[in-house]
């Protein structure tokens, strides 16, 4: 990828956050990209029933169109993060476009819940020196992932479940997309199986000990 900045693996974290010591517990952070959309509501029901919190990387345009859904996510204790305004390739976009994509999303989320995110997931995992410098100035840590079931491509719930369970390890950041109903349908069985295997569900920030450094790139295997 040629990404600039220090890449940090969650498996090296020793800090305790939110009452969970992820250096000892089998922690996993579930993350959901590209919402909020209609299918997000079903996912929130599933997570609420199990009292599980996740991290949502929101598209600014969708957040602006569904501020009520953003508020619901935030009220449930989920972590809310930036995923650009239009799902732009930030690693290759002109500086003016990067500014608009990031600030537009920050403002859309701030208008919905009163606070702006401190995490960014660059769409496609596309980053670089310029984006790293920009996110450092904006106070945004960059979060990639360590498990990708390719749910955007494989619209089959059982296949998504199998791919997550085959790859997941303690300390992982799992990438999924709540815009796909097939992914949402896979989540209950994924949660059940992870719980049976002794996993503890945490947000991304909790996984990394409660503090993340702006500009730094996290969770790249």
Query: For 98-138, what is each residue's pLDDT tens digit?
Result: 999 999 999 999 999 999 999 999 999 999 999 999 999 99
Active site residues: 33, 177
User: What pLDDT band is residue 3 in, cutting at 50, 70 and 90?
Assistant: very low
- Residue 160 covered by a domain: yes
In-domain check, residue 1: no
pLDDT average, residue stretch 18-22: 81
Q: What is the CATH number of the domain that holds 200?
A: 3.20.20.370
Q: Which domain holds residue 181?
A: 7-220
Question: Stretch 160-185: mean pLDDT, rounded?
Answer: 98
Dihedral (Cα; 174, 73, 215, 129), 10-degree rounding = 70
The answer to whether position 136 is within a domain reads yes
User: How far is residue 107's CA from residue 105's CA, in Å, rounded to a whole number?
Assistant: 5
In contact, 13 and 208? CB cutoff 8 Å: yes
pLDDT, mean of residues 151-160: 96
Structural domain contains residue 151: yes
In a domain, 35, yes or no: yes
Domain membership flag for residue 2 = no
Does pTM surpass 0.85? yes
Contact predicate 70/63, CB 8 Å: yes
The yes-or-no verdict on residue 2 having pLDDT over 50 is no
Cα 42 to Cα 68, 93, 187: the distances in Å are 14, 34, 10
How many domains does the chain contain in total? Answer: 1
- Determine, yes or no, domain membership for 59: yes
- The mean of the pLDDT values for the chain is 93
């Amino acid at each position: 990828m040629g990404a600039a900045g220090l890449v940090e693996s969650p498996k090296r974290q020793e800090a305790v956050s939110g009452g969970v010591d992820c250096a000892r517990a089998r922690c996993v952070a579930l993350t959901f990209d590209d919402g909020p959309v209609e299918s997000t509501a079903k996912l929130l029901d599933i997570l609420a029933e199990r009292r599980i919190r996740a991290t949502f990387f929101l598209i600014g345009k969708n957040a602006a169109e569904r501020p009520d859904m953003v508020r619901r996510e935030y009220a449930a204790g989920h972590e809310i993060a930036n995923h650009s305004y239009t799902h732009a390739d930030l690693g290759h976009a002109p500086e003016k476009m990067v500014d608009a994509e990031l600030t537009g999303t920050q403002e859309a989320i701030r208008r919905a819940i009163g606070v702006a995110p401190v995490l960014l997931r660059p769409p496609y995992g596309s980053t670089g020196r310029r984006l790293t410098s920009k996110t450092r100035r904006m106070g945004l840590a960059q979060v990639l992932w360590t498990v990708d079931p390719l749910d955007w491509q494989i619209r089959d719930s059982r296949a998504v479940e199998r791919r997550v369970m085959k790859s997941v390890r303690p300390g992982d950041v799992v990438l999924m997309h709540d815009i796909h109903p097939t992914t949402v349908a896979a989540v209950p069985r994924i949660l059940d199986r992870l719980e049976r295997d002794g996993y503890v569900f945490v947000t991304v920030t909790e996984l990394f000990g409660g503090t993340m450094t702006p500009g730094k790139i996290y969770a790249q295997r």
